[in-house]
């Protein structure tokens, strides 16, 4: 994690749109790097709760917030997936920089409209990709950048999590309009890492089904076969049907000069390495997972996300997940859903 340089020490002001579970991770980090001036949620009770805890003004309308909070610099979007595009575009049009939770959107067209708005109104649009900062992922990224695995031959991604009925009950989750699909809500970080580590996807084949969640409108399981632009081939098996708890979130990469497996439940351990020459130091220290009570999500690296955000706003050349990265994730998921007959 990089230090915030001297020229970044004027703390920016933020507004937080959406006051659900993930918004708490954002609020905790916003107050470390800046000022949380306003919060917004259509559920007034949620907005007021955040307001009371963080001393921010509460709104139930994004339009009202943007009209009144002229001095806010950055809008953090934590609303349901299906609202990311509309809320981000509205914030960009109001002259605000935007940090959008994953996924950037649930349609390629919407993602492109978001990028167009960013360009038109001269404001930056970023997307949360916190798994890029998992220590084993950072180590493998370095291996690949140094070509220490040689030509990449094949890979395997396994995502076996548990999402019970309680997770979907009385919620936008599981709906086509607001959730969009299990790859968007649960596993978009794995798609991002596929692209970030191994490059773009040439073609996909997929079988996608809802096997155990009849009360939702989307899939709960899928098997995908990839052919990459670099000629590597690979598979992704994903499901939210792991019994009782999350089982595994892993990525195995086989190259000419080495093989590695990033594993654990959340890509948080280096489970295997056999590399020509020097091995990776496995004495990693990282954050735990996002704990939401009856279920757990990806690793909680939002502290690094916000530190890197501040640096990126001051230095356009700084490597931080931007809207084009977000678009690429949406494009790959869109390919998978088309191949699986969902679109």
* Between residues 254 and 294, the one the model is more confident about: 254
Q: Which pTM does this prediction carry?
A: 0.93
Q: Into which CATH architecture does domain 6-127 fall?
A: 3-Layer(aba) Sandwich (3.40)
Which of 1-15, 239-253, 285-299 has the least mean pLDDT?
Answer: 285-299
Average pLDDT over residues 33-53: 98
With a cut of 50, say whether residue 15 has pLDDT above it: yes
Model pLDDT, residue 286: 52
Asked, colleague to colleague, whether 6-127 and 132-276+286-298 share their fold, the answer is no
Average pLDDT over all residues of the chain: 93
CB distance 130 to 286 below 8 Å: no
Model pLDDT, residue 284: 73
CB distance 89 to 70 below 8 Å: no
Average pLDDT over residues 89-97: 98
With a cut of 90, say whether residue 297 has pLDDT above it: no
Model pLDDT, residue 285: 60
Encode pLDDT of 176-189 as tens digits: 999 999 999 999 99
Domain chopping of the chain, boundaries: 6-127, 132-276+286-298
Show the 3-state SS of the chain. CCCCCHHHCCCCEEEEECCCHHHHHHHHHHHHHCEEEEEECCCHHHHHHHHHHHCCEEECCHHHHHHHCCCCCEEEECCCHHHHHHHHHHHHHCCCEEEECCCCCCCHHHHHHHHHHHHHHCCCEEECCHHHHCHHHHHHHHHHHCCCCCCEEEEEEEEECECCHHHHCCCCCCCCCCCCCHHHHCCHHHHHHHHHHHCCEEEEEEEEECCCCCCCCCCCEEEEEEEECCCCEEEEEEECECCCCCCEEEEEEEECCEEEEEECCCCCEEEEEEECCCCCCCCCCCCCEEECCCCEEEECCHHHHHHHHHHHHHCCCCCCCEHHHHHHHHHHHHHHHHHCCCC
How does residue 299 score in pLDDT terms, banded at 50, 70 and 90? low
Encode pLDDT of 144-193 as tens digits: 999 999 999 999 999 999 999 999 999 999 999 999 999 999 999 999 99
From residue 46, give the alpha-carbon distance in Å to each of 39, 51, 59, 84, 112. 9, 9, 10, 19, 31
At the fourth CATH level, the homologous superfamily of domain 132-276+286-298 is: Dihydrodipicolinate Reductase; domain 2 (3.30.360.10)
How does residue 243 score in pLDDT terms, banded at 50, 70 and 90? very high
Q: Which of 102, 76, 98 is CA-nearest to residue 23?
A: 76
């Amino acid at each position: 994690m990089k230090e915030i340089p001297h020229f970044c020490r004027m703390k920016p002001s933020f507004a937080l749109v959406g006051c659900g579970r993930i918004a708490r991770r954002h609020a905790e980090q916003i107050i470390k790097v800046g000022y949380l001036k306003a919060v917004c949620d259509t559920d007034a009770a949620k907005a007021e709760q955040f307001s009371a805890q963080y001393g921010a003004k509460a709104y139930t309308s994004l339009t009202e917030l943007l009209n009144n909070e002229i001095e806010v610099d950055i809008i953090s979007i934590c609303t349901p997936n299906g609202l990311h595009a509309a809320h981000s575009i509205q914030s960009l049009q109001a002259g605000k920089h935007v940090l959008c939770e994953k996924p950037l959107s649930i349609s390629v067209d919407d993602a492109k409209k978001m990028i167009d708005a960013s360009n038109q109104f001269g404001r930056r649009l970023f997307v949360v990709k916190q798994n890029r900062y998992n220590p084993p992922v950072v180590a493998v990224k370095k291996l690949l950048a140094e070509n220490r695995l040689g030509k990449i031959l094949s890979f395997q991604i396994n995502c076996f999590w548990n999402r019970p009925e309680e997770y979907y009950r009385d919620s936008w989750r599981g709906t086509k309009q607001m959730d969009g699909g299990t790859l968007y809500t649960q596993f978009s970080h794995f798609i991002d890492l596929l692209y970030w580590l191994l490059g773009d996807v040439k073609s996909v084949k997929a079988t996608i089904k809802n096997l155990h969640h009849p009360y939702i409108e989307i899939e709960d399981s899928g098997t995908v076969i990839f052919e990459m632009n670099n000629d590597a081939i690979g598979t992704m098996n994903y499901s939210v049907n792991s019994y009782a708890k999350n089982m595994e979130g892993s990525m195995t990469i086989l190259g000419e000069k080495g093989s590695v497996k990033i594993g654990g439940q959340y890509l948080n351990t280096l489970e295997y390495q056999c590399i020509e020459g020097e091995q990776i130091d496995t004495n990693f220290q990282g954050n735990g997972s996002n704990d939401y009570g009856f279920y757990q999500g990806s690793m909680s690296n939002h502290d690094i996300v916000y530190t890197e955000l501040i640096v990126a706003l001051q230095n356009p050349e700084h490597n931080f997940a931007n809207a084009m990265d977000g678009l690429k994730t949406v494009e790959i998921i869109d390919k998978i859903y088309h191949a699986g007959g969902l679109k």
